Amino acid sequence: MVIYRLVALVVALVAFIPAMQPQNIKVGAERVAQYVPLLKGKRVALLSNHTGMVGERHTLDVMLENGIEVTTIFSPEHGFRGNADAGEKVSSGVDAATGIPIASLYEGKTRMPSAKTMGRFDVIVTDLQDVGLRYYTYYITMLDLMNAAVAYGKEFVVFDRPNPNGMYVDGPILDMKYKSGVGRLPIPVVHGMTLGELALMADGEGWLKGGKRLGDRLSVVPCEGYTHQSRYRLPVAPSPNLKSMIAIYLYPSTCYFEGTVVSLGRGTKHPFEIYGHPDMEGYTFSFTPQSIDGAKNPPLLGKKCFGRDLSGLDEEEVIAAGINLEYVIDTYRRLGKGDRFFTSFFELLIGDGNVRRMIEEGKSAAEIKATWSDDVEAFKQRRRPYLLYEE
């Protein structure tokens, strides 16, 4: 058996995730009998990272043990070992444990692998733990490789995993004029789909480059025992700054601080669970962002920030609230910085040009949410043919 060198990293990341509750859910990568017939005798490229685990083993190990010929590894944002900063350049190389080439998709201007790289395999397998947000970039990397598969006539297989935010749909549909590296498809912020379902929808709706389709060259190995109402607790932190389940549940509401002058706790032990600014008044809670692994140069580095600690909120209440803009609205009003509060990145995250204006006009979080409710319902109907699991 290949001894995988990710174990130390995985152990470290697991320490930040609450202990898993007993679950009768099998992820796609566990269902070896389902995928071996799809892959045996073919050269395989694997898109995965530290989240691609089957128990204590990496999917790569399991595939190799079952006679699958993996010739190439692709890595998404944060790198194959999952410890790079958001958007940080990640170089290609060779996996030291297996000698398999790693072809990064974050090392240049183009996301299309070279013809030489594409010639090394027949089928691309994706095994990533997504968190179900339009601005979480793992699905974008998957789409890039789906486009490459279309262009080069390759097969594409998704080993599906549960969506920890898969129990609801919320947020505005992406206005495609804000299409960017943190938003690729005309979907709500919280789309409620697994990567397998999203792959099927992107292909079926003609959202791949040039409207082309993989068709019957696209396969999904589904999870077993999962529904969209399952409370699936991740066994491994999906990326360096989502360190807990409460952070994952708050992510749809607190990530917008990335598009403001406010810190959301990068450079602390509780990113996305806290927020603050040196000029915030009326709060006793404080934190000071530091340079740490996964946040080497966080916003407001070394500055004492005053604000709120949300880490103790009840998980079910956070889930029930969905996207909660009250945090951003309250901070905007308290800081009193006017048009210096937001940056242009806010629009890329929220995917709509009207939300900032409504906040500035004094609209409430409930009033703003009401503006996208009809679009959410229309999207839920549109996605239904592609769902693999009970809603």
Q: Whole-number mean pLDDT of the chain?
A: 91
List strands edge to edge, sheet with 218-221.
93-94, 101-104, 69-75, 43-48, 123-127, 155-159, 218-221
pLDDT at 329: 98
Q: What are phi and psi of 70, to 5 degrees?
A: -90, 120
Comparing C-alpha atoms, which of 9, 25, 5, 59 is closest to residue 230?
25
* pLDDT digits 0-9 by tens, 20-74: 444 699 999 999 999 999 999 999 999 999 999 999 999 999 999 999 999 999 9
CB 201 within 8 A of CB 386: yes
pLDDT at 13: 46
CB 189 within 8 A of CB 170: yes
| Residue 8: band (very low, low, confident or very high) from pLDDT cuts 50, 70, 90 | very low
Q: How far apart are CA 113 and CA 121, in angstroms?
A: 12
- Other Cβ atoms less than 10 A from the Cβ of 195: the count is 23
Strand residues in the chain grouped as ranges (E): 43-48, 53-54, 57-58, 69-75, 93-94, 101-104, 123-127, 155-159, 218-221, 274-277, 285-287, 305-309
Q: How far apart are CA 208 and CA 339, in angstroms?
A: 36
Q: Is residue 300 pLDDT above 60, yes or no?
A: yes
How long is the chain? Answer: 391
pLDDT at 75: 84
Q: Is residue 214 pLDDT above 80, yes or no?
A: yes
CA angle 248, 252, 258 (to 5 degrees): 100
pLDDT at 91: 54
For 371-388, give one letter per residue: b (16+ CB within 10 A) or e.
ebeebbeebbeebeebbe
% pLDDT > 90, the chain: 83
* pLDDT digits 0-9 by tens, 131-190: 999 999 999 999 999 999 999 999 999 999 999 999 999 999 999 999 999 999 999 999
CA angle 320, 128, 174 (to 5 degrees): 55
Q: How far apart are CA 200 and CA 266, in angstroms?
A: 34
Name residue 159's beta-bridge partners. Answer: 221
| Residue 95: band (very low, low, confident or very high) from pLDDT cuts 50, 70, 90 | confident
Q: Is residue 283 pLDDT above 70, yes or no?
A: yes
* pLDDT digits 0-9 by tens, 304-343: 999 999 999 999 999 999 999 999 999 999 999 999 999 9
* Helix, strand, coil abundance in the chain, percent, nearest 5: 35, 15, 50
Q: Is residue 86 pLDDT above 90, yes or no?
A: no
- Average pLDDT value for residue range 253-271: 98
Q: How far apart are CA 109 and CA 356, in angstroms?
A: 30
Q: How far apart are CA 98 and CA 155, in angstroms?
A: 23
